[in-house]
């Protein structure tokens, strides 16, 4: 079945550091890929998405590229801020024609001043 | 913000009792989902619906049932609650094509 594997957290970075959160997936067919973010006490929000191979999703300084050859969708940001502290979830959807989304386990990011 | 309301927001119940969680949307979206969130497991899909009276199981459906008699409401029932069902439950909705999931604020359920 479909699955998403994320790097384990928590990840602690200093403000303005470079961020990478690794994500790899296993899926049938050609799924869409997503990054969602969860701030404390809230539900998840879509951060960015990519719908086909080599697409780059971007939002709020975050980027991720859909790499079919390595089945990866790593999240990057050049300079993190304290306000980026949250839990980040990699996810895939639409695999095999089913309209459901499978999430990874989440990676907690803490940015310190 | 998408119009999604989950109720109750918090609930404490005893083992063996039935529990129903409600998700209400005002967006008229076709797809509705129930997930549970647990440390170390992320979000896991319990059930989802692709229309009125059309539902399907997710990866952790045992012990749960759902109903959708109206577009706007998706109910999750724990038939006989167990301590392993202590979790945070999230409802999500989506229009066609999985462009984006919109999440509710969650229900914290404790089964004692």
Mean pLDDT, residues B79-103: 89
Q: How far is A62 from chain B (nearest CA, A)?
A: 17
**In the prediction, which pLDDT does B1 show?**
59
In this predicted model, which residue has the larger pLDDT, B18 or A42?
Answer: B18
Nearest chain A residue to B91, by CA: A43
What are the tokens at B106? 């969650």
Chain segment A55-110, per-residue pLDDT in tens: 999 999 999 999 999 999 999 999 999 999 999 999 998 766 667 888 999 999 99
Nearest chain B residue to A10, by CA: B40
Q: How far is CA A76 from CA A36, A49, A63, B40, in A?
A: 13, 13, 5, 22
What are the tokens at B107? 């229900």
Count CA within 13 A, CB hemisphere, residue B45. 25
Chain segment B23-69, per-residue pLDDT in tens: 999 999 999 999 999 988 889 999 999 999 999 999 899 999 999 99
Contacts of B1 in chain A (CB under 8 A): none
CB A109 within 8 A of CB A9: yes
Chain segment A22-60, per-residue pLDDT in tens: 999 998 778 899 999 999 888 899 999 999 999 999 999
Contacts of B100 in chain A (CB under 8 A): 46, 49
CA distance B30 to B23: 13
SS (H, E, C) chain A: CCEEEECCCCEEEECCCCEEECEEEECCCCCEEEEEEECCCCCEEEEEEECCCCCEEEECCEEEECECCCCECCEEECCCCHHHCEEEEEEEECHHHCCCEEECCCEEEEEEC
A103/B59 CB distance under 8 A: no
């Amino acid at each position: 079945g479909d699955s998403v594997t994320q790097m384990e957290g928590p990840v602690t970075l200093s403000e303005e550091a470079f961020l990478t959160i690794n994500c790899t997936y296993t899926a049938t067919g050609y799924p869409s890929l997503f990054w969602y973010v969860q701030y404390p006490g809230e539900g998840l929000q879509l951060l960015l998405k990519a719908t086909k191979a080599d697409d780059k999703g971007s939002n709020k300084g975050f980027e991720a590229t859909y790499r079919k050859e390595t089945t990866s969708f790593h999240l990057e940001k050049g300079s993190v801020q304290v306000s980026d502290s949250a839990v980040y979830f990699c996810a895939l959807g639409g695999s095999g024609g089913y309209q459901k989304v499978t999430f990874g386990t989440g990676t907690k990011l803490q940015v310190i001043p | 913000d998408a119009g999604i309301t989950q109720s109750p927001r918090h609930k404490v119940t005893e083992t063996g009792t039935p529990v129903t969680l409600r998700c209400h949307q005002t967006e008229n979206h076709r797809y509705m989902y129930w997930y549970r969130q647990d440390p170390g497991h992320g979000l896991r899909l319990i059930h989802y619906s692709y229309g009125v009276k059309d539902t399907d199981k997710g990866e952790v459906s045992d012990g749960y049932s759902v109903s959708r008699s109206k577009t706007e409401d998706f109910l999750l029932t724990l038939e006989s609650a167990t301590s392993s069902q202590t979790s945070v439950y999230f409802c999500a909705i989506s229009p066609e094509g999985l462009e984006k999931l919109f999440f509710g604020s969650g229900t914290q359920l404790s089964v004692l």
